[in-house]
Amino acid sequence: MSQANAPLPAATEPFDVPRHVAIIMDGNGRWAAARGLPRSEGHRRGVEAVRKTVRAAGEMGISYLTIFSFSSENWSRPAAEIRDLLGLLRRFIRNDLAELHQNGVRVRVIGERGDLDPDIRRLLEDAEQLTRDNDHLTLVVAFNYGARQEIARAAIRVAKEVAAGRLEPTAITAELLAQNLDAPDIPDPDLVIRTSGEQRLSNFLLWQSAYSELVFVPTYWPDFDRAALEEAIAEYRRRERRFGGLAVRAGS
């Protein structure tokens, strides 16, 4: 990130923004292939796009930004690519955490941590601990994350309560399951953006996105910038959100 000693400015947008934006960052490999570059360069440029987007979200007054950093399915990729991705995560946290903290960004991590390498798990936990009291922007990092797996973990937690006799099966509700997800205190995303032109959720926030507006943009993630974010939000504001009831203008 640039201007490491400068605090994030107040929101300057002339229109309302969603409270919570979630992004499926897709297209690093295709961006690199189109330029005759190795996939690792696409991932490196993708990290730069993360930096730009986090800063833009803070400047625009977005309260929560969730990024799909590494899915539970990504472990099936070639070992060399996984090493590159984990190396980028390590460098991002080590190099950028101080600035994120200084700029009032709170880092939260969702996903399964039990089987992560100890150094990765420690980095994620340290980032959360250092920034826990910040309130300018909450950056939710979905790492080793899969939505079906998250829902299964929630079901296991509830099942343990039933098995222990502390909960009747008839008391299980959607609200109770939601309270047992990875970050139940974070509001559901208003807007989910996927880059690269693909039009699917790919096991991302399936529960939380039940009533989210979905915007698919053709831009590969390394080229995503503030203008692309503004355009996606403009599309969001043109939508009518019904939540199963009467239509409500998204930007109202």
Percent of the chain past pLDDT 70, that is, above it, reads 90
Annotated catalytic residue, options 5, 28, 74, 96: 74
**3-state percent helix, strand, coil for the chain, nearest multiple of 5:** 45, 15, 40
Q: Annotated catalytic residue: which of 26, 96, 182, 190?
A: 26
Share the mean pLDDT of the chain. 91
- Nearest Cα neighbor of 88 from 54, 116, 59, 46 is 46
**CB atoms inside a 10 Å sphere around CB 137:** 23
Beta bridge partners of 71: 145
Q: Is 26 a catalytic residue?
A: yes
What is the model's pTM? 0.89
C-alpha to C-alpha distance for 11 and 166, rounded to whole angstroms: 46
* pLDDT at 161 (0 to 100): 98
pLDDT for the residue 92? 87
Cβ–Cβ under 8 Å, residues 207 and 176 = no
pLDDT digits (tens, 9 = 90+) for 134-154: 999 999 999 999 999 999 999
Tokens of 249: 């203008």
The tens digit of pLDDT for each residue in 90-133 reads: 888 888 999 999 999 999 999 999 888 899 999 999 999 999 99
C-alpha distances (whole Å) from 131 to each of 34, 59, 139, 181, 205 are: 38, 18, 10, 21, 23
Token pair, residue 191, equals 């807007």
Q: What is the predicted pLDDT for the residue at 248?
A: 65
pLDDT band at 15 (very low <50, low <70, confident <90, very high): low
Is 74 one of the annotated active-site residues of the chain? yes
How is residue 80 written in tokens?
């060399």
Cα radius of gyration rounded to whole Å, the chain: 19
pLDDT in tens, 67-88: 999 999 899 889 999 988 898 8
The confidence score (pLDDT) of residue 11 equals 42
CATH superfamily of 20-146+188-242: Decaprenyl diphosphate synthase-like (3.40.1180.10)
Q: Kindly state the tokens that stand for 245.
A: 């009831």
pLDDT at 13: 42
